[in-house]
Amino acid sequence: MSSDDVDRDPGTVTDQRLQQGQAMGEAMDLVDAGVTGDLELQAPSVRDNPIRAALGVAVVLLGLAAVVGFDLVRAVPSGTFVVTLVSISALSLGALALVRRLFTTIRTAETADVEDRESVTVPGTDFDAAVADAIHGVGGARFSAQQTVVDSLREATVSAYGRAEGLSESEAHERVADGTWTDDPVAGGFFAGTQTVSAVTDSVRSRLGRSSGLERRVDRVLVELAALTPGLSVDDLAGEPADDRPARRRTPDPSRRQVDRRTRRWTGVTGLGLLCVGFGLWAGYTAVPPSLVVAAAVAVGAAGYVYLSSPPPVSLAVERDLSPADPAPGESVTVTVTVTNESDDFLPDLRLVDGVPAAVRVVDGSPRFATALRGGESVRFSYTVEAVRGDHPFEPVHVVARDFSGALERERHVAADSGVALACALDLAADESVPVHPQTARRVGRVVTDTGGSGLELHSVREYRRGDPMNRIDWNRVATTGEFATLRFREEHAATVVVLVDARDEAYVAPRIDAKSAVDHAVEAADVLVASLVGAGDSVGLAALSPEWCWLEPRGGAGQAARARHCLETHPAFDGRRPAGAFHGETQERRLRRELPGDAQLVLCSPLCDDAAVAIARQLHARGFPVTVVSPDVTAHASTGQRLAAVERAIRLSDLRRSGVRVVDWDTDQPVEAAIDAARRRWSA
C-alpha cells in the first residue's frame, strides 16, 4: 500500500483556501494554524516570482562578468551612484534576511509519545501544580494559586472534622476558620491566616530541593486530617521516594496529518548571498578584486537548490510481526516491524515511529527508527511491549521523509499490509468466593429469604400434612409427644448481581504514569467477581460507568461467563483508552435503574477518585439496590498533593460506610481475593 494514496477530506478548510497560484507561505500558515487534511506542496519555480528572479540573475551575471574582466559596471552612466545604490540595497536586504533567520522557528513533524500508555493522571497532580504556582508564581497568578491551595484543604478539613465531631457543615466551617478545630497551632493557623511565610524564602528553599514553608504547613494540616479520618493513620501518609517522572504526560495532536512542509532550515541562505553580492559589487568598483561575487553565486546556487527541490516520494509497505502471538496479560511481546521502499527513489532521511496501541506500554527497545533507504530495499527494527487484556490493534506507522538538504519533509501515515493486533484473553478462574447482601447464611452467591421451604436454616414448624417428605418430619416431637410435625427451612434463592466498572475519564488514575490504571485494576476485579458469582450459581450481569454505554443482562451459567469475558475484552468502554466523550452521571444512573431487575445487587469497582462515583453508589443503594464497592487504592504519598488525594479518598470511603454501603478497600499490591476475604471477616464479626 502506498502512503501517497491518501483519502481526501472533501470540503476541508485547506482545499477551500489553497487557490491556484497562491504563495507557499500562505499555505504553510494554514498548516501551522492546525488545518488538517491533504496539503500537496507545489514545487517552487522561478516563474512564481519572475521579476525578483530576473533581477537576481542579472545581478549575479553582472558580478561574474566583472570577475572575468568585463568592466560593465564602470560603463554604466553615473556608475558610482548605481553601484552604491545596488550595493546598499543588497547589503540591507541581506542583513534583513539574516535578522529574520534569528526569529524563524524550525518546523518539523511532531510525533506522539507512543512509548508510554495513554495518559494516566496521578491523584493530587492538580494540587501539586497549585502549590508550585503559589511558591514560584508572580503577582495575581501566585495569589490565585494560594487561594486554590487553601480552598482545597479547607473543603477536606471541614468534611473530615464535621463527620468526626458530628457537626453541621456551617458549625464545622466556623471552627476551621477560627483555628479551634485542632490543638496544632500551625495547622489551626493555616485557615485562620495567623501563619505567614516569606514568598522569597519559599521560592529559594524549593529551588534548592528543600521543603518550602507552605509545603510544611500543608503537611501539618494533613497529619491532623489523618487523625480525624476513620481507617487512615499518620503512618499511612508517610512520605515515599519522589518519582522523577512527570505525573502527567500530554501527547501531541493524534490526528493523522498527511502534509508536505518546508522546515525553514535554510532560511537566511538568500540573505547570505545578498550580502556577498553587495560586498562584491562594492569591491568590484574599487581596487579590490570582486571575488565575493563568486561566493554570492555559490550561496544563490545553494538557495536555488533548496527552493527548487521537491520532497522525496514515499511509497512504503509495512509488515508487523508479534512474538508470541497469543500472550498472557503481563507477558513481554516482541514487535518486529519491516519497512520496504517500493519505489525506485532513494530516501536519504527516513524517520519511522510505529503506531503502538494507546493501552500498551513499551518496556524494552524503541518503536522509533531512522535510516536511509534505497529503492526496493527493506529495513527491520524491533521493540518489546507489555501485553494487557483485550484486543489492541496497532496504529499506522508515522513516516517522516526528508530530502538531502533537510529543507523539505513529507509526513505520512502508512498502515501495515496485515491487520496484526495484540490480543490477550482473560482467565475467568477465581478461587475466592464473593459475599453478597445479605450474608445471614454465610453462603456465597445465595440470598436467604423469609420464605419457608427447603434449605439449611430452620424457619418454623407446622402440622404434618399427607405427602410431606419423611426427612422433614420432626421425629424428636414424635418420640416425645406422639404428634407428627413438619420442619420448614429458610429458602435460599440465587442472587442477581450486576458488576459495575467505573471506566470514566476520571478513573484513569495511577500512582505513577507507567503503572496500571485504576480501570485496569477494576477490570481485573470484575474478572474475579464474575467468575466467582457465576460459579456460585448466581445470575450475573455487567455494566460500566462510561460515556460508552455497556449493559449485559444478568444471567447464569458458563455461557454468561463467556459473554462477560468477551465484553470485558472487546467492548469500547474497557479498551484501555481514556474516553473522549462527556459522562453524564445522573442520566446514566437513571438508565441503569431502568435496566436493573428489582432484586438486583450491585458491585461497583471504582477507585473513588472523585465525589461523582460516591454519589452514584449512594443513590443506587438508597433506591433499594444494595451496593458493595470494591475500590483499588491507586493513591501515592510522594508529594503533598498525593497525600491530600489519599485523605480525600479515605473520607469518601467513610461516607459510603456511613450510608450502609459495603466497602472493600483493596491494596493493589495484594490480590483482590485477599481484600474481599478480609472485608468479609469484618462484615461477619
DSSP track, 445-504: TEEEEEEEEEEEEEEEEEE--TT--GGGB-HHHHHHHS--EEEEEEEEEE-EEEEEEE-S
pLDDT at residue 380 in the model: 93
Of residues 280 and 17, more confidence is placed in: 280
Residues 508-550 pLDDT 10s:
999 887 788 899 899 989 988 998 888 888 899 999 999 999 9
**pLDDT(189) > 70:** yes
Q: Helix, strand, or coil here: 383? A: strand
**pLDDT(400) > 70:** yes
**pLDDT(47) > 90:** no
Q: The C-alpha cell of 443 is what?
A: 453462603
* Residue 541 zone, left/alpha/beta (φ > 0; ψ -120 to 50; rest): beta
Please give the DSSP secondary-structure letter assigned to residue 181.
Answer: T
Query: What is the helix (H) or strand (E) element at residue 304, kind and residue range?
Result: helix 292-308
**Residue that is written with C-alpha cell 505513577 in the block:** 512
d(CA 519, CA 33): 35
Please give the DSSP secondary-structure letter assigned to residue 336.
Answer: E
Q: In Å, what is the CA distance from 678 to each residue of 147, 538, 662?
A: 41, 22, 12
What single-letter amino acid sits at 300? V
447 Cβ contact list (under 8 Å, min separation 6): 436, 437, 438, 492, 493, 494, 495
pLDDT at residue 34 in the model: 36
pLDDT at residue 121 in the model: 85
Mean pLDDT confidence for 141-145 = 86
**pLDDT(662) > 60:** yes
d(CA 488, CA 516): 51
In 3D space, the residue among 254, 255, 258, 250 whose CA is nearest the CA of residue 400 turns out to be 258
Residues 68-112 pLDDT 10s:
555 554 444 445 565 566 667 766 766 776 676 666 676 677 777
Tell me if 500 sits within 8 A of 543, measured CB to CB: yes
Residues 337-384 pLDDT 10s:
999 999 888 888 899 999 888 778 888 999 999 999 898 899 999 999
In 3D space, the residue among 408, 410, 386 whose CA is nearest the CA of residue 398 turns out to be 410
pLDDT at residue 513 in the model: 78
CA terminus-to-terminus distance, the chain: 66
d(CA 437, CA 440): 9
Determine what percent of the chain is predicted with pLDDT higher than 90. 23
pLDDT at residue 273 in the model: 66
Mean pLDDT confidence for 177-192 = 87
In 10 A of CB 590, how many CB atoms? 11
Tell me if 621 sits within 8 A of 629, measured CB to CB: no
Segment among 211-215, 385-389, 590-594, 676-680 with least mean pLDDT: 211-215
Tell me if 360 sits within 8 A of 392, measured CB to CB: yes
pLDDT at residue 487 in the model: 73
**pLDDT(27) > 70:** no
d(CA 591, CA 128): 37
Mean pLDDT confidence for 187-201 = 70
Q: The C-alpha cell of 631 is what?
A: 475500590
Burial of 4 (0-12, 13-18, 19+ CB in 10 A): middle
d(CA 45, CA 655): 72
d(CA 182, CA 17): 66
In 3D space, the residue among 528, 570, 580, 525 whose CA is nearest the CA of residue 550 turns out to be 570
**pLDDT(591) > 90:** yes
Edge-to-edge strand list for the sheet holding 378-386: 316-323, 332-341, 378-386, 361-365
**677: Cα separation from own chain's centroid:** 33
- Per-residue b/e over 659-682, b at no fewer than 16 CB within 10 Å? eebbbbbbebeebbbebbeebbee
pLDDT at residue 46 in the model: 45
d(CA 255, CA 446): 51
Q: Which of 393-397, 557-561, 590-594, 669-673 shows the highest mean pLDDT?
A: 590-594
pLDDT at residue 340 in the model: 93
Mean pLDDT confidence for 571-584 = 85
Segment among 256-265, 344-353, 505-514, 595-604 with least mean pLDDT: 256-265
pTM exceeds cut of 0.75: no
Mean pLDDT of the residues in the chain: 75
Please give the DSSP secondary-structure letter assigned to residue 444.
Answer: T
Mean pLDDT confidence for 123-140 = 85
pLDDT at residue 40 in the model: 40
Of residues 178 and 139, more confidence is placed in: 178
What single-letter amino acid sits at 488? R
Can you give the C-alpha Rg of the chain in angstroms? 36
In 10 A of CB 309, how many CB atoms? 15
d(CA 601, CA 437): 7
In 3D space, the residue among 410, 60, 105 whose CA is nearest the CA of residue 267 turns out to be 105
Query: What is the helix (H) or strand (E) element at residue 361, kind and residue range?
Result: strand 361-365
In 10 A of CB 102, how many CB atoms? 8
Residues 427-457 pLDDT 10s:
655 555 566 565 333 333 444 444 444 444 5
Q: How many CA atoms lie within 13 A of 521 on its CB side?
A: 29
pLDDT at residue 454 in the model: 46
Examine residue 324 and say whether the peptide bond preceding it is cis (omega within 30 degrees of 0). yes
d(CA 37, CA 453): 70
